[in-house]
């Protein structure tokens, strides 16, 4: 039985939709960078390309398997940061990363080796000035910013001092200092010599060599050892901000023991942090270390640099998480957590100079595609107006409101998850909007079916909606599942297509339930819109009258 028309409150549904749109556009204009345009993909606006050259400790060529593994890890990092439309391809013995826009720092960060080790700190010294060191053997007072004791004793806080300054310039690479050598073989051999020399001085077990390395290590120059230190040997390393030099013992925990890494904001400390959860073996090792080394430091080293060095203030129970804190922003904390979560690369890389990549299709193709979509949409609307009359007007209004909501969501997705809109994504949007029109057709045809059975327009609307909504939900559920499967299994621009298709499928349900159905219900109560000449349902009502007359004639003939 159809629901009572008295129980329907169409104005409430329309109000909910209006509030949603108002919230979306308030976020667009009053949060973030205030940009009111979606981010475009590489094929539409071009991008920035960085070539990663593998650096092996022995100077040998990287194996194809190691390159493929590195490519997969970097692609996983890209997906962890959001749907950004970045491309990672193997070019000979190199990896080429292309990201939309002109932000070369993002491409460089994706190529970070991310070899994390936890090493006990044997001694440390502050750097007196850029490029100079304190005298060998001098161990200054605890670095500024050492965390306070945890308030709820005896649980340790185990938070590092701020050691990472996101405002500092990105670490240069050897290729930033000089043009690539013409002979790739000599460049590989030179890199291997640099790594061997760095290991000999900075990973020596001789105390005299260690002290000399601490006295001469220049933290302001590129690190030739980056990502190639031997975890079984001691290490002389700089902090990431270049303000301190550490002598570290052999590693006690490998980054492979990280089970999960997340970023968040610590409201008590008023700072962003990265929380690490170790696997069973790593958690047990960390618990034993903290219980036996209270008051000492343990350094978290990432690619041969000290990210942070917390003071052990108490035993950490096995299974507890450990936080890395520093001068993080929300973006840099998320980036580090994403890098650690998906594991280290099997190779270390030196990044080339960033180069600009022109758009493969360009804005002209975008305009042509949008014009084609607009022409198709206008033709559909004209057909709806001719065939459905008043219902066609409601179709046009619903599609416009759907487009308004989609645009705001595209802007916000680009701002908060780095989503970029390419031509494949635009195709997904157009197909999704077409599916929204299909939902309107299903609803309208159900109304016509009810009227063919002799019901008035006013009584046919709620009954037709009760029958149509199940079909609409079922059809959209199938489309969303298909889009989700395609998104999980696909790569590259196909993922963008699947993402926008799934998004517009969800919005189809929102628009049909919060806009189209309430508007049609309001129209059914209006004497003007209920007139057959206005709503275009006169032919259907004529069929109903003819069926009724035929049925009456058949009944009289039987009598």
Segment of 73-87, 329-343, 354-368, 460-474 carrying the highest mean pLDDT: 460-474
Higher per-residue pLDDT: 262 or 108: 262
pLDDT for 362 equals: 64
Higher per-residue pLDDT: 530 or 213: 213
pLDDT for 292 equals: 92
Higher per-residue pLDDT: 233 or 417: 233
Segment of 100-109, 161-170, 503-512, 522-531 carrying the highest mean pLDDT: 503-512
DSSP-based three-state secondary structure for 333: helix
Q: Which two tokens stand for residue 177?
A: 């200092």
Count CB atoms within 10 A of the CB of residue 19.
Answer: 10
pLDDT for 7 equals: 64
pLDDT for 12 equals: 92
Are 55 and 347 contacting, i.e. CB atoms less than 8 angstroms apart? yes
Mean pLDDT value of segment 157-174: 36
pLDDT digits (tens, 9 = 90+) for 215-247: 999 888 888 888 888 899 999 999 988 889 999
What is the rounded distance in angstroms from the CA atom of residue 117 to the CA atom of residue 227?
10
pLDDT digits (tens, 9 = 90+) for 484-493: 999 888 766 7
- Strand 258-266 vs strand 271-278: parallel, antiparallel, or unpaired? antiparallel
Higher per-residue pLDDT: 17 or 64: 17
- Strand 116-126 vs strand 47-55: parallel, antiparallel, or unpaired? unpaired
pLDDT for 192 equals: 80
Are 83 and 418 contacting, i.e. CB atoms less than 8 angstroms apart? yes
What is the rounded distance in angstroms from the CA atom of residue 208 to the CA atom of residue 217?
14
Type and span of the H or E element at 116: strand 116-126
Q: Which two tokens stand for residue 543?
A: 């069929």
pLDDT digits (tens, 9 = 90+) for 269-326: 888 888 888 889 999 999 999 899 998 999 988 888 888 888 888 888 888 888 877 6
Are 306 and 272 contacting, i.e. CB atoms less than 8 angstroms apart? no
What is the rounded distance in angstroms from the CA atom of residue 235 to the CA atom of residue 305?
10
pLDDT band at 409 (very low <50, low <70, confident <90, very high): very high
- pLDDT above 90 (res 481): yes
Mean pLDDT value of segment 151-157: 31
Type and span of the H or E element at 254: strand 253-254
- pLDDT above 90 (res 21): yes
pLDDT digits (tens, 9 = 90+) for 359-403: 766 667 667 777 877 887 788 788 888 888 888 888 888 888 888
Least confident range from 28-42, 319-333, 345-359: namely: 345-359
Mean pLDDT value of segment 24-38: 85
- pLDDT above 90 (res 157): no
Count CB atoms within 10 A of the CB of residue 540.
Answer: 19
What is the rounded distance in angstroms from the CA atom of residue 511 to the CA atom of residue 405?
9
Are 87 and 134 contacting, i.e. CB atoms less than 8 angstroms apart? no
| 497: CB partners within 8 A, 6+ apart | 424, 425, 427, 428, 486, 490
| Average pLDDT of the residues of the chain | 78
Q: Is the dihedral of CA 134, 139, 140, 146 positive or negative?
A: positive
**Which phi and psi (to 5°) does residue 316 adopt?**
-95, 120
Are 392 and 423 contacting, i.e. CB atoms less than 8 angstroms apart? no
pTM of the model: 0.60
| 51: CB partners within 8 A, 6+ apart | 91, 94, 95, 96, 97, 351, 352
pLDDT for 405 equals: 92
pLDDT for 474 equals: 92
Cα atoms in the Cβ-side hemisphere of radius 13 Å centred on 526: 12
| 334: CB partners within 8 A, 6+ apart | 81, 263
Mean pLDDT value of segment 443-459: 87
pLDDT digits (tens, 9 = 90+) for 174-218: 333 333 434 545 556 777 888 888 899 999 999 999 999 999 998
Structural domains present in the chain:
5-37+360-554 (1.20.1640.10), 114-342 (3.30.1360.200)
DSSP 357: E
- Strand 116-126 vs strand 235-238: parallel, antiparallel, or unpaired? unpaired
């Amino acid at each position: 039985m159809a629901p009572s028309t008295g129980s329907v409150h169409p104005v409430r549904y329309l109000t909910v939709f209006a509030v949603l749109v108002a919230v979306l556009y308030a976020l667009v204009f009053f949060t973030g960078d205030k940009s009111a345009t979606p981010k475009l993909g590489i094929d539409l606006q071009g991008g920035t390309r960085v070539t990663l050259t593998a650096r092996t400790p022995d100077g040998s060529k990287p194996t194809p398997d190691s390159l493929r593994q590195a490519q997969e890890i970097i692609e996983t990092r890209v997906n962890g940061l959001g749907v950004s439309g970045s491309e990672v391809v193997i070019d000979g013995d190199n990896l080429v990363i292309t990201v939309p826009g002109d932000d070369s720092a993002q491409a460089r960060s994706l190529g970070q080796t991310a070899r994390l080790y936890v090493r006990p700190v044997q001694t440390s010294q502050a750097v007196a000035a850029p490029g100079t060191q304190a005298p060998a053997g001098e161990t200054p007072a605890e670095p500024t910013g050492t965390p306070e004791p945890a308030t709820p004793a005896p649980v340790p806080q185990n938070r590092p001092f701020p050691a990472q300054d996101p405002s500092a310039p990105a670490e240069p690479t050897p290729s930033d200092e000089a043009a690539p050598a013409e002979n790739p073989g000599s460049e590989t051999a030179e890199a291997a010599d640099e790594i061997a020399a760095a290991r000999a001085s900075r990973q020596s077990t001789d105390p005299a060599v260690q002290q000399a390395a601490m006295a001469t290590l220049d933290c302001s120059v590129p690190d030739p050892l980056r990502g190639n230190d031997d975890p079984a040997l001691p290490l002389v390393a700089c902090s990431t901000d270049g303000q301190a030099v550490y002598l570290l013992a052999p590693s006690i925990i490998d980054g492979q023991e990280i089970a999960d890494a997340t970023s968040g904001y610590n409201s008590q400390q008023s700072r962003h942090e990265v929380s690490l959860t170790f696997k069973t073996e790593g958690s047990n090792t960390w618990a034993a270390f903290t219980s036996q080394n209270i008051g000492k430091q343990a350094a978290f080293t990432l690619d041969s640099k000290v990210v942070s060095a917390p003071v052990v203030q108490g035993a950490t129970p096995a299974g507890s998480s450990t936080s890395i804190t520093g001068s993080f922003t929300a973006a840099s904390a998320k980036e580090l957590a994403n890098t650690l979560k998906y594991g280290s690369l099997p190779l270390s890389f030196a990044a080339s100079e960033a180069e600009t990549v022109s758009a493969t299709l360009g804005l002209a193709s975008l305009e042509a595609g949008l014009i084609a979509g607009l022409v198709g949409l206008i033709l559909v609307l004209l057909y709806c107006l001719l065939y459905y009359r008043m219902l066609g007007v409601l179709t046009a209004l619903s599609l416009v409101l759907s487009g308004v909501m989609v645009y705001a969501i595209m802007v916000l997705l680009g701002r908060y998850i780095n989503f970029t809109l390419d031509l494949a994504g635009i195709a997904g949007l157009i197909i999704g909007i077409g599916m929204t029109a299909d939902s309107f057709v299903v609803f309208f045809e159900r109304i016509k079916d009810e009227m063919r059975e002799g019901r008035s327009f006013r009584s046919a609307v709620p009954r037709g909606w009760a029958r149509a909504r199940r079909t609409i939900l079922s059809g959209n559920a199938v489309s969303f599942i298909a889009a989700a499967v395609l998104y999980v299994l696909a790569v590259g621009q196909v993922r963008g297509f699947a993402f926008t298709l799934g998004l517009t499928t969800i919005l189809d349900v929102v628009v049909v339930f919060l806009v189209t159905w309430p508007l049609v219900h309001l129209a059914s109560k209006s004497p003007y819109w209920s007139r057959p000449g206005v709503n275009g349902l006169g032919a259907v009502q004529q069929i109903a009258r003819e069926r009724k007359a035929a049925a009456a004639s058949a009944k009289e003939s039987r009598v």
